Structure 1
Amino acid sequence: MVGRRAIIFHGTGGNPDVVWYRWLAERLEARGYTVEVPHLPGVNVEPIATFLPTVLDGRRFDEDTVLVGHSGGAALLLALLEHVEVPVAQAILVAGYCTRPNTREEPVLKESYDWAAIRSHVRDIFFINSRADPYGCDDRQGRAMFERLGGTQIVRDDGHFGDYNQPYERFELLDRLIP
């Protein structure tokens, strides 16, 4: 057995060293996970059609893989889950969205999704959104994904769950959701 793996995808304009990403990685590593927190400056900059192959290239996804995405990284998970070859154990979309949440361009979004394929490629899926998200990645976005995919929707009042002006160095809820 290869063991449990987790990949944490940062949001638009982010990097692996902001907000709760490293904290969560350390918590999971302490429980035996192999964790990757890739730096992907092309998230929500490059069009998803050309960006997704670079994300998939060289990465292995299997039934023991946990995927966590924040903001643009959560939107990236929708496209990624359409294309993985086997169902992953869990996906958690934090401040995720499936349609444009505001007036900015969102190259990470696809025009349409194969919702059945996404659902068939993940055993357990969570949507964590805030009613008070300043970018529109709010509970309505979470509800739109939940209605298409099922899983569990969690609604909080925690802004964007970390941002340049919102320190969010720990995220205990995520640590509890991942077995």
Structure 2
Amino acid sequence: MSKNAVIFHGTGGHPDVAWYPWLDRQLTARGYRVERPHYPGVNVDPIAEFLPKVLAGHTFDAETVLVGHSGGAALLLALLEHLQAPVAQAILVAGYATKPNDSDEPVLQGVYDWDRIRANAGDLYLINSITDPYGCDAEQGRLMFEHLGGTQIVRDEGHFGDYDQRYDTFELVDRLIV
């Protein structure tokens, strides 16, 4: 087995924006095989239809690091629940487990098996901001932390990258990945 990482973009996002390409370069230089898939269906297609494509599209094992941003972090909850074996680490950036605003959120499941998610998440980090404009905020992080444990990190950094927020590097995430 070799170390691998999968970086999931958020709703309406793309794998070539924000800090994703930078993190890819950082991890590649450290020997990781990195995937930054483009999933236009994230938070568009119902999770029950979308999740099988994600599960079939990647290898998930004890050497895998999962990083998700916004809708991609919400996707990680369902993904972790349905894995057959644990991953090494999961980092949810601007993640959420309940509707954070008035938008439809087809990426969310109605209920979660929190124990199974925790068992599959490995070294879990929840990174949220107190000033997230979409509601993917520290309260959402706290909700997930109360169910899952792990490490909750609260910052004051908006959405950690958005159409109006340049965020070309993310040193914190790079440092968290072993």
Category of TM-score, reference length = shorter chain: over 0.9
Corresponding position: 1:79 with 2:78? yes
| SS of 1:57 mapped into structure 2 | helix
Can you list the C-alpha shifts for 1:115-137, whole angstroms capped at 9, x where unaligned?
A: 01101112210000000000000
- Equivalent residue number for residue 2 of structure 2: 3
- Equivalent residue number for residue 63 of structure 1: 62
- Equivalent residue number for residue 153 of structure 1: 152
Over the matched positions of the two proteins, sequence identity in percent amounts to 69
1:85-100 mapped onto 2 (5 Å cutoff): 85-100=84-99
Q: How many residues align?
A: 178
The alignment's TM-score, normalised by the length of structure 2, stands at 0.99
| SS of 2:57 mapped into structure 1 | coil
- Equivalent residue number for residue 16 of structure 1: 15
Query: How many angstroms apart in 2 are the aligned matches of 1:149 and 1:26?
Result: 30
Query: How many angstroms apart in 2 are the aligned matches of 1:86 and 1:58?
Result: 16
- Equivalent residue number for residue 33 of structure 1: 32
Query: How many angstroms apart in 2 are the aligned matches of 1:25 and 1:58?
Result: 18
Equivalent residue letter for 1:151: G
Can you list the C-alpha shifts for 1:88-134, whole angstroms capped at 9, x where unaligned?
A: 00000000000000001000000000001101112210000000000
Can you list the C-alpha shifts for 1:113-170, whole angstroms capped at 9, x where unaligned?
A: 0001101112210000000000000000000000000000000000000000000000
Equivalent residue letter for 1:102: N
- Equivalent residue number for residue 178 of structure 1: 177
- Equivalent residue number for residue 120 of structure 1: 119
Equivalent residue letter for 1:87: P
| SS of 1:107 mapped into structure 2 | coil
Equivalent residue letter for 2:20: Y
Q: CA deviation at 1:60?
A: 1.2
Query: How many angstroms apart in 2 are the aligned matches of 1:59 and 1:25?
Result: 16
Q: CA deviation at 1:58?
A: 3.4
The alignment's TM-score, normalised by the length of structure 1, stands at 0.98
| SS of 2:117 mapped into structure 1 | helix
Give the CA RMSD over aligned residues.
Answer: 0.5
**Shift >3 Å, 4+ stretches:** none
Consecutive unaligned residues in structure 2, runs of 5 or more: none
